[in-house]
A and B are shown apart, each in its own frame.
Chain A
Amino acid sequence: MAELIRVKNLKKYFKTPRGALHAVDDVSFNIKQGNTLGVVGESGCGKSTLGRTVIHLIDRTDGQIIFNDEDISVISKQKLKELRKDMQMVFQDPFSSLNPRMSVSQIIAEPLIIYNMCKTNKELGIRVAELMDTVGLASRFASSYPHELDGGRRQRIGIARALSLNPKFIVCDEPVSALDVSIQAQILNLMMDLQDELGLTYMFITHDMSVVKHMSDEILVMYLGMMVEFSSSEDMFHDRLHPYTKALLAAVPIPAVFERGERKLLKGEITSPVNPKPGCRFAARCQFATEICLSENPTMIEALPNHFVACHNVKSINNIK
């Protein structure tokens, strides 16, 4: 399978009165066509910023983005408009991501109208009906308003809107976090079905570890703007090499009854991403931190085959030769 997206050393810094906020710092990854890359991390890790930067909703500070073998790191407004047809986004909040003054059919029709995809109104109506059908929205909701529908249906509208231009790549920013558990499952199933049917490539951003395991082929763990671990979904959950990944996975409450040992909690709080000092950003909270962790930035190394980790002591912590 060809690689649809290749991101190299992507950086996004924001200017704040207190200094440069390193929201995304030197992130690199590839996503093969038809695959899902899960991006996980807690608040402030930069995953949402990463998603928006990759599809040019925010301008990058530095780094390279290659889409379909074309370098799109810096592109003209014209090209960007063309590109939007291929890269779309599904947003987190199913309420605030829909214009409260437009009806369901109008919201879904918007992209089609902007890009003149349909020549007649009838064609437009047919296409919108198709899209509503694809995401499982009954056609009787065509003239309803978002606030009249529940969260699950609203999220379906968002998905239909993202699909309208037949994109190849969709960034999903916490698409099910705001939904009830049983509705979450419906939407996750829908997204997986759509991926199979339409050959979509996803970047799935979430903080929910069980969801990311379910949806992703590969996973990228982020902490304070930096990549800390990258591998296939299976390997990530099996090996969990980086100390942060260990802590993250250990913290997830498991819905089962079993004898739980003394839980090792991650101490402290997240540090500030503004003007970060050199050294590993996780060092302050890491139980395995050594001298070098406080002075040198770790780089991603292939600790195990196809399993990349940014940690000075990864081999010794995990007993790898």
Chain B
Amino acid sequence: MSDNILEVRDLHVHYKSGKDIVRAVNGINFSMKEGESLGLVGETGAGKTTTALSIMQLIPNPPGKIVGGDIIYKSENLIKKTAEEKRKFRGHEISMIFQDPMTALNPMMTVGDQIAEVVLLHQNVNKKQALERAREMMEEVGIEGERYIEYPHQFSGGMKQRIVIAIALACNPSLLIADEPTTALDVTIQAQVLDLIEKLKEKYNTTLILITHDLGVVAETCDKVAIVYAGEIVEYGKLEHIYNNTSHPYTIGLFGSIPNFNENVKRLKPIAGLMPDPTRIVKGCSFADRCTNVSEICRKGDIPNTEIEPGHFVKCTLFANKEV
């Protein structure tokens, strides 16, 4: 397993809210090889952003805390690093782009300066060289280099997101985490931005974790998919596994909820109910209350994570005996 660039092992993250403890992440496991792209799919509150912030070691403490597990990046455990070391790898080894491009850029600095800032922080160059790199990056993301002296408000939403991508990739990180990078954008601009991310990923062989709730976006951009529910990965596998052999009841429910472009369905099949309250400990499967296939054993103890075909894992009692 040593050629994995990233390994997340049994990650547990809690937030303190007043007297309650919010169990945001409850045992997430996955690994990635260099150049792969993983889609982290789930709804609001599933724990996807928390997982991403954990990898970046950006969980605000207080109120959050990584209470268990390891994050191994290039054979080093990120959790055990000092604050200084953590700062060194952010932006340089691992970069993150966030959802809202409107607020991700500092309105008081030119875009050139913002891209150059990252370069200056991590590389041994002077200001002039950093700005030169900034212009290069802008051209890479499809914006005229001369515009490096302009301010964020002079760009549209799609262009701002490209600038954010330029900042993220300026130091050529090995791992890029994109948290819902296109959710706030129009669909035609989304297509442009996704295309850009793909091209750059190919060019630099960047490993990509893409967080989204949109199953269409995942199908276009990712090799592997992890379906996240209530802080756990309930189904994990290659793209074909998840889309053509959908197994976990939640995943089936997700697919049933989206109106299909190519077919005409009279009524959608939504999942009844809501995600469980993350402050309450649920015994057994966290999806049990909403599952149409629930049975007695689902509410008792640990739910087995079964490999139903090579590389395809499902966390559900229905598949307990279907090990490949």
Contact = CB atoms under 8 A, between A and B. Distances in A.
Direct contact of A and B (CB under 8 A): yes
A1 to B, nearest CB: 20
Interface stretch (A68-76, A103-111, A117-125, A260-268): A260-268
Interface residues of B, number: 45
Given A192-B267, A257-B244, A265 B192 contact: yes
B291 interface: no
Nearest to B217: A253
B268 interface: yes
A286 interface: no
A257 B270 contact: no
A210 B261 contact: yes
Interface in B206-244: 213-220, 239-240, 243-244
Nearest to A214: B259
A180 interface: yes
A6 interface: no
B187 A207 contact: yes
A114 interface: no
A210 B258 contact: yes
A266 B219 contact: no
Contacts of B244: 257
A184 B219 CA distance: 20
Contacts of A266: 188, 191-192
Interface string A26-40: 000000000000000
Sorting the interface of chain A by its residue count into under 10, 10 to 19, 20 to 34 or 35 or more gives 35 or more
Contacts of B192: 265-266
A217 B269 CA distance: 20
B261 to A, nearest CB: 5
Interface in B7-56: 43-44
A152 interface: yes
Interface string A190-221: 00100000000000000101110110000000
B43 A251 contact: no
A183 B269 CA distance: 11
Contacts of A42: 186-189
Contacts of A2: none
A188 to B, nearest CB: 6
A256 interface: yes
Contacts of A247: 188
B268 A188 contact: yes
Contacts of A250: 191
Nearest to B220: A253
Contact of B43 (A180, A189, A257, A265): A180
Nearest to B43: A180
Contact of A150 (B254, B268, B274): B274
A152 B146 CA distance: 46
A85 B190 CA distance: 39
A284 to B, nearest CB: 14
A253 B219 contact: yes
B213 A253 contact: no
The 7 closest A-B pairs by CB, nearest first: A253-B216, A185-B270, A214-B259, A255-B215, A185-B257, A42-B186, A251-B191
Given A185-B271, A265-B188, 20 more contacts: A42-B188, A152-B274, A181-B258, A183-B274, A185-B268, A185-B269, A186-B272, A189-B267, A207-B187, A211-B259, A250-B191, A251-B188, A253-B216, A254-B216, A254-B261, A255-B255, A255-B258, A260-B220, A265-B192, A269-B156
